[in-house]
């Protein structure tokens, strides 16, 4: 749960832009393969860092 919260902080700018688009009634931008890769690797790195510190 902590790793998801930290990942959300890392990607707060993108999340904010997507929410603004959705609220304005415009379609959200789809994720590219590179963005998915970065997201998964960031989540994995944060989870591993938490595991090593415990």
The domain total for the chain is 1
Residues 25-38 have pLDDT tens digits of 999 989 899 888 98
**According to the model, what pLDDT value does residue 54 have?**
84
Whole domain around residue 20: which residue ranges?
A: 2-53
DSSP assignment of 26-42 equals PPPPPPPHHHHHHHHHH
Whole-structure pTM value: 0.67
**According to the model, what pLDDT value does residue 48 have?**
92
Residues in CB range of 14: below 8 A, 6 or more apart: none
Residues 1-54 have pLDDT tens digits of 777 788 888 889 888 999 999 999 999 989 899 888 988 998 899 889 989 988
Residue 11: Cβ-neighbour burial (10 angstroms; 0-12, 13-18, 19+): middle
């Amino acid at each position: 749960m902590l790793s998801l919260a930290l990942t959300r902080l890392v990607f707060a700018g993108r999340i904010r832009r997507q929410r603004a688009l959705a609220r304005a009634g415009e379609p959200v931008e789809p994720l590219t393969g590179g963005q998915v890769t970065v997201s998964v690797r960031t989540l994995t790195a944060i989870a591993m860092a938490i595991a090593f510190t415990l």
